[in-house]
Every structure is written in C-alpha cells, then in structure tokens.
Amino acid sequence: MSGLASRASALLAGIDVSENRPRRVGRLSSYDGLMLEATGFGQPIGAGARVIAADGHAARAEVVGFRGDRTLLMALDGEAAHAHGSRVEPDHGGGMADVGPALLGRVVDALGNPLDGKGPIATAEHWPLAGRPGNPLDRDRVTESFDIGVRAVNAMLTAGIGQRIAIIAGSGVGKSVLMGQMIAGADADVIVVGLVGERSREVSDFLATKLNGEVRDRSVVVAVPADHAPLLRLRAAMRATAIAEYFRARGLRVLLLLDSLTRVAHAQREIGLSLGEPPTVKGYPPSALGLIPRLVERAGACAKSGGSITALYTVLADGDDTDDPIVDATRAIVDGHIILSRSLGEQGVYPAIDIGKSLSRVMPDIVDSEHLAAAAAMRRLWSAYEENRDLILMGAYAAGSDPAIDAAIVRRPEVLDFLRQSPGERIGFDEARGVLIENFGS
C-alpha cells in the first residue's frame, strides 16, 4: 500500500492545480431585452461573460453593474433565445484587444472579428480596451505641425502632431467628406478609423471611396453600424483607440479618426439609463458626459516612445445646435475644433469651414509669426463681413462708412475661393502657408 500511495502522491504532485480551479458559474435570473441579471456570478465590472442560451448558442455579454446580490450584464450579441436559469460563464478575453501589424489593411468589428472576408487575423499581442494608466508628464507637447492636406486647415487652423480636434456640424454638412480629404492628405504612418453608429451603406461607401489604394494598406478600420447593441458601439470606439495606442507605443505617427463621438455618447446614454442613472442635461446621464474626456485624453504624443496619436472626432450638432451638451463637453476637452457651416454648404463652399468660429489652440506654438499674422488678417476680413452680414445683404450698409467692412465686402469672393477645395485635391502645408501669406499677408 505504501508503494501505491507514493506513486499516487507523485502523480498528484505533477498536476498544476492553479490551471484547474473551478470557475464561478452563474444563472440567468432576468432579461428585459437590453439588460441581463445573473445570480451567483461574482465578476468585476468590465469582465466578459458567455450566456448559454436555450438553443445552445453562447451569447457574449459584459458586466456593467450590480443590483443587490445580482450581477447586471449587457449583451454584446444580437437577440438570443435566453431562458430563465441559463448558464452564465466567465469570458476572460473580454477586456483586451488583439493588436499587431497584421491588423493593417483589415476591417474588424467591435469584438475584433474580421469583416472583410480575408480570413483570420494573425495577432499575437494584446492591449487593454480601456487603455493603460499613464503619467501626464509622459505626454509630450504639441510643437510640430501635422500636414492634413486641406488648405483651410493647414493655413488657418494648423494642426499639430498629437493634437485632438473635433469636427462639429449638423447632419449632411460634409463631415465625412472632410474626413476623407484628411485621410488622403495626412502625413501619417498608420491610420485608425472608427466608424461608430453609422449606416451600413456608409461603411461600405467609406471603404470604397475614402480608403482606397495605398492608404488602405496602412489603415485599420473598426466598424459597428447603428443597429448594433449600444455596448458594441461603445466597444468599437475603445477598440479603435486601443489599436492606435498600440501603434503609438511602437514609436509610430498615428492618425485616429472617430466618426462619430456623438454616437458613442448616445450608446453610453442608453447604458446609463438602463442602469438607473438620473438623466441630466437633455436626457444625458453623468456617465455619458464623463465618457468623452476619458476617451479623448487617451490620444496625444508620447515622450517616452516618440510616437503620437493625432485624433479627429466628428461631433453631430443635433439641430445645428453648437451648444448641445455633447458638443460643449467635447469642445472643452479637445485642443481645437472645426465647425462646419450649413450656410456655406448651401453656397457651394466645400469644405464648409466657418473659420470665425473654428479654432486651433496649438497653432500659435507651431507656426511662425508671418504665418500667424496672415491668418489673423484673413480672420479680420471674415469677422467684419459676418458681423455686418444682415446690413450688407439688405443693402443698408453705405459704402465708405467703414474701411474694414469695405475691404471685407470686396475681398469676400477671394476669401471663399481660399476655402474651396475639391474632394480629390491635396494641398500641403507649405503650399497652403505660401498662398495665405501671398494673398493676406502684410
């Protein structure tokens, strides 16, 4: 018996018990179409879960809160045949994004699954969806210009490497077209695009018209249409940002485009209201407004790696209201904003950039005094015309009353021609600066 016992002890000693620990499995107790409640599932917020439906299908979910001794989960998949008492299992891969150079040229969904029909993506590295905690002193200053390929932006709203910019406009004013111009003209090593909450048709159109040719080979697209679950829309924005952070950590210059930040906030609003958060301004719970700085602050230049994320966020101004809570919260946290004017679009001026209301907060740090003076002169012409627009159009202004207004009226066509640029045209920073100084410099 002693020999048998010693052999059994030897066998048991070779077993790694840590790899065979029992998993904490819960049971589904409630389901209202958006929120699931499980008992006996003690996982932290943000943890992934698999809900085994009545038909045997495993639907993915994420822990979003607690109610008493019950765990609240939100589904990541579509409608599933859930039944009372369904098994709820942990899914430990839920909080990480698969990253790597193999993502370049690919299109994925919010869960990292390929959408382009090119087969599996061979990624061997992981990055937290929520990002890694950072030291604010590791964030580098914005001191170098970023060539965006759009004359009005390069000259009047000069972007910097590591800057965060909001493109604010109502529906149908040209946000996506301007983004396409910036993608084609941007001087970036990697382009990461997050298409969140858009129409499915617009996703295909964006890939076919704005990410074709050489640009596609150095880009990564995360796409989640509007009909997907709110948690998936939120995860798409987080995954796109996580992918951009990974390439920044490798010392690359990354351009991150998120279309649109408003849809991400709407998704967080649905989640927050489902959890019982009180609605505040215009029905937005605190978590929806708090999400914006958490997402935007992840972009920027890194002093340690030498890489950078220059980020563009489109913001939908509902009803052309530029004082909308989402617009206001975004404008307060970004380093610059570009406001598109419906009035200019109706005049056939594209991109319809209202340079009087738009601003680049880093421009004084990255351009020379001659460039800055020419931009200020053009702004004065723009402001003088806009402030007296009604008087001019009604014919109530008498020529010769004010030299500044007279100059603004005479040079108005020249100013609008400077803003105009066809979608397929690329105008570099040096060319835009030269034209601005030649036409509007002292």
Q: Are 207 and 107 in contact (CB under 8 A)?
A: yes
3 domain-assigned? no
76 domain-assigned? yes
430 domain-assigned? yes
Residues 100 and 86 in one domain: no
11 domain-assigned? no
1 domain-assigned? no
Residues 251 and 322 in one domain: yes
Residues 226 and 323 in one domain: yes
- Tell me the β-bridge partners of 31: 36
Residues 78 and 210 in one domain: no
Would you state the pLDDT for residue 2? Answer: 56
Residues 174 and 32 in one domain: no
Would you state the pLDDT for residue 17? Answer: 46
Residues 174 and 310 in one domain: yes
Residues 122 and 262 in one domain: yes
What gap in Å lies between CA 210 and CA 205, rounded to an integer? 8
Q: For position 380, which CATH number holds?
A: 1.20.1270.330
Q: For position 108, which CATH number holds?
A: 3.40.50.12240
233 domain-assigned? yes
Give the torsion sign (CA, 59, 63, 66, 69): positive
Name the domain boundary from 51, 70, 90. 90
Residues 197 and 68 in one domain: no
10 domain-assigned? no
- pLDDT per residue, tens digit, the chain (442 aa), is 556 666 656 555 554 444 455 567 889 998 877 788 999 898 888 888 888 877 778 888 889 888 888 999 988 876 677 888 889 988 876 678 999 999 999 999 998 999 988 999 988 899 998 888 888 888 899 999 999 999 999 999 999 999 999 999 888 888 888 888 888 888 899 999 999 987 878 888 888 888 887 888 999 999 998 888 888 899 999 999 999 999 999 999 999 999 889 999 999 998 888 888 888 888 889 999 999 999 999 999 999 999 999 999 999 887 777 888 999 999 999 999 999 999 898 888 889 999 999 999 999 999 999 999 999 999 999 999 999 998 988 888 888 889 999 999 999 999 999 999 988 889 999 999 999 999 998 7
Name the domain boundary from 56, 90, 124. 90
Q: For position 52, which CATH number holds?
A: 2.40.10.170
Name the domain boundary from 56, 75, 90. 90
Residues 244 and 382 in one domain: no
Cα-Cα end-to-end distance for the chain: 103
Indicate the number of domains in the chain. Answer: 3
Containing structural domain, residue 114? 96-366
Residues 428 and 317 in one domain: no
Residues 297 and 380 in one domain: no
15 domain-assigned? no
Whether the ω angle into residue 260 lies within 30 degrees of 0, i.e. cis, is yes
Would you state the pLDDT for residue 123? Answer: 87
Would you state the pLDDT for residue 16? Answer: 47
Residue 134 amino acid letter: G
